[in-house]
Amino acid sequence: MSTSKVKVGIIGCGNISPVYFRTCKKYENLDLCACADLALDRAQARAREFEVARACSVDEMLADKSIEIIINLTVPSAHYSVARAALLAGKSVYNEKPLSIARDEGRELVDLAGDKAQLIGGAPDTFLGAGIQTCRKLIDDGAIGQPIGATAFMMCHGPESWHPDPEFYYKKGGGPMFDMGPYYLTALVALMGSVRRVTGSTRISFPERTITSKPKNGTKIVVDVPTHVAGLLDFSCGAVATIVTSFDVHAARVPTIEIYGTEGSLSVPDPNGFGGTVSLFKPGDKDGWREIPLIDVHADRGTGVADMAASLRAKGRPHRANGDLTMHVLDIMHAIHDASNTGVHVVLKSTCEKPRAMVAGLLFGTIDA
């Protein structure tokens, strides 16, 4: 296996990009050598801030044959077009979530990557962190027996009070399920495997929203997508899960994720983070819910890129945040909305393998071979 660093470039230098710049600089198998943005001055500013060798246009980056992975941090509506152009340029692609807006475009990207012997995948990679990985080990070790059910809740009143430009959250490709659902669904699939069938109900509670954040305070947003989404998931393993994502709720007292098994229950930390508190309940335990120490796994946003890079160097090694996983999550999200629109269960056409567990005990900045 080659030990040479994999050259990577970032396209899209907006709000989410700093954590990727920082993490990619820490991984020993990555060489973050360039960044690009439609606004070249923004790319230049990020290059100076994070000491990246080159800021350039998107076309210049795609033409650079030395760059092997494109980290696509553009807005969701551009995920497909940028990823497709990168794959056609002979590069592997790591997309921010979701893989794409449209289901058929996501499938096209996965198929194109396969045809060109490139890798594709993407966020979220939070399931690679110690919180979800500790839960994975507990389930694999039989701590709760056979999973029979789960609940997942993401409840808030939308991003217009804090995000500087929140309109896209309420347009095609937005909404609570497409924005936050990938974290919750990816965690559930990483813990329990693929989903076989879904149903769901959706609604738009507030047809118009008012931005209260700066600089667009007072601007009205016409809401085009469901903002309260409830789904019911039948997993291939037999478990049944409920997921609710909402931009319409002022306050709630609900768990982020809980998984219920034949021999106990598991409280899973917030899947939008890499750590958190893991708690286990076993019948007969006089202490009730018991906090479980996290296993020795270190990850941050961008760890999925390092994992992809390791797979480029070790042919045949599957990367964890892969195209089948991201496509399956995209399929689930669409299917919940489709079920609400049609009033019937939707049997999924996609599937995926449960990603390999992370290897514990490695220093942050290293990845298993």
- Chain segment 57-76, per-residue pLDDT in tens: 999 999 999 999 999 999 99
Q: Is the peptide bond before 355 cis (omega within 30 degrees of 0)?
A: no
If one compares 280 and 168, the residue with the highest pLDDT of the two is 280
Report, as an integer, the average pLDDT of 273-301. 96
Please say if the pLDDT value at position 96 is more than 80.
Answer: yes
Of 344, 281, 354, 295, the residue nearest 322 (C-alpha) = 354
Report, as an integer, the average pLDDT of 76-102. 97
Cβ neighbours of 14 (radius 10 Å): 15
List C-alpha distances in Å: 73 to 30, 310, 314: 17, 21, 25
Of 145, 257, 163, the residue nearest 213 (C-alpha) = 163
Please say if the pLDDT value at position 369 is more than 90.
Answer: no
Please say if the pLDDT value at position 2 is more than 80.
Answer: no
**What pLDDT is attached to residue 287?**
87
Are the C-beta atoms of residues 61 and 70 closer than 8 Å to each other?
A: yes
**pLDDT tens digits, 17-26:** 999 999 999 9
Please say if the pLDDT value at position 286 is more than 90.
Answer: no
Report, as an integer, the average pLDDT of 202-225. 97
Task: Parse the chain into domains and list their residue ranges.
Answer: 6-122, 127-292
Please say if the pLDDT value at position 1 is more than 80.
Answer: no
Please say if the pLDDT value at position 130 is more than 80.
Answer: yes
**pLDDT tens digits, 146-167:** 999 999 999 999 999 999 889 9
Which superfamily does CATH assign the domain made up of 127-292 to? Answer: Dihydrodipicolinate Reductase; domain 2 (3.30.360.10)
Please say if the pLDDT value at position 3 is more than 80.
Answer: no
Of 318, 345, 361, 314, the residue nearest 29 (C-alpha) = 314
Cβ neighbours of 254 (radius 10 Å): 12
Task: Tell me if residue 233 falls in helix, strand or coil.
Answer: strand
Q: Cα(334)–Cα(101) distance, rounded to whole angstroms? A: 9
Vertex 129: Cα angle to 126 and 132 (nearest 5): 85
Structure tokens at 257: 């994720």
Outline where the chain has alpha helix (H).
17-26, 40-50, 58-63, 76-88, 103-115, 130-140, 175-192, 303-313, 323-342
Which helix or strand (DSSP H or E) is residue 15 part of? none
C-alpha 125 chain-centroid distance: 6
Fold of 6-122: Rossmann fold (3.40.50)
